[in-house]
Amino acid sequence: MTVMEETTPLSHYERIGGAAAVKAAVELFYDKVLADPELAGYFVDVNLPEQRRHLALMLAVVLGGPNEYAGRGLAEAHRPLNIPPAHYAMVGEHLTTTLSELGVPADIIADVQVVLGQVKDQVVSVGNA
């Protein structure tokens, strides 16, 4: 082990187990969201395998993993959905619960919550804010 390796902290992505852990989180997260009667309607006409892949790629970036996401931006993808703040908060709760259930450390969950706060304005519709 070199000195550089000893002092370079692992990314959140590496700490939780990389791609396999992110995929597991995305699967459990969508199980929760799709079972939620207030949120399931957003996904009626959505290609769910593609949606899951997009979220896995985005979550990898948020956690400090590889940036391989090449889809639409958050605002472009979500603006037509007219998402109210309450539904955005519910989705955030499902994600937080999912990460907690999978044993993700609290500091990583807190950092994900910070990112959720930072991108809220790109997802919630202006008329609903």
Q: For position 93, which CATH number holds?
A: 1.10.490.10
The model's confidence at residue 6, banded by pLDDT at 50, 70 and 90, is low
Please tell me the distance from the alpha carbon of residue 97 to that of residue 67, in angstroms, as a whole number: 24
More confident residue, 71 or 35: 35
The mean pLDDT value of the chain amounts to: 91
Listed range (48-52, 56-60, 124-128) with the worst mean pLDDT: 124-128
Q: What is the pLDDT of residue 3?
A: 52
Q: What is the pLDDT of residue 129?
A: 47
Q: Which two tokens stand for residue 3?
A: 């000195």
Q: Which two tokens stand for residue 96?
A: 């937080």
The model's confidence at residue 38, banded by pLDDT at 50, 70 and 90, is very high
Task: Please count the structural domains in the chain.
Answer: 1
The model's confidence at residue 71, banded by pLDDT at 50, 70 and 90, is confident
Q: What is the pLDDT of residue 125?
A: 85
Q: Residue 70 belongs to what domain range?
A: 3-128
| Residues 128 and 88: beta-carbon distance below 8 Å | no
Diameter of the chain measured on Cα atoms: 54
Q: What is the pLDDT of residue 4?
A: 53
The model's confidence at residue 9, banded by pLDDT at 50, 70 and 90, is confident
* Amino acid, res. 97: T
